[in-house]
Amino acid sequence: MSGSCRPDRPSRGFTLLELLVVLTVVGLVTALVAPNLGRLVGSMERAVRRDGLVADIAGLSFRAYSLGQGFELSEAGFNVPLRDGNLVLSVPSGWRVQVETPIRFGFNGLCSGGSLSVSSPDGVVEKLRLVPPACQIVRE
The per-residue pLDDT for range 9-21, each reduced to its tens digit, is 666 888 999 999 9
Query: Does residue 61 lie within any of the structural domains?
Result: yes
Measured CA to CA in angstroms, residue 102 lies from 1, 39, 54, 111, 130 at distances of 95, 36, 17, 11, 11
The predicted model scores a pTM of: 0.75
Instruction: Judge whether 55 lies within some domain.
Output: yes
Distances from the Cα of 18 to the Cαs of 24, 38, 97, in angstroms?
Answer: 10, 31, 57
Is 60 part of a structural domain of the chain?
yes
Cα 98 to chain centroid distance, Å, stands at 19
Q: Which domain holds residue 89?
A: 15-139
Q: Taking the C-alpha atoms of 63, 49, 113 and 135 in order, what is their torsion angle to the nearest 10 degrees?
A: -50
Cis peptide before 133 (omega within 30 of 0): yes
Percent of the chain as helix, strand, coil, to the nearest 5: 40, 20, 40
Looking at the domain assignment, is residue 9 inside a domain?
no
Q: Residues 56-97: pLDDT tens digits? A: 999 999 999 999 999 999 988 888 999 999 999 999 999 999
Residue 72: φ, ψ to 5° = -120, 135
Residue 42 placed within a domain? yes
pLDDT in tens, 93-140: 999 999 999 999 999 999 999 999 999 998 999 999 999 998 899 998
Bridge partners of 114?
130
Q: What is the total count of domains within the chain?
A: 1
Q: Is residue 69 part of a domain?
A: yes
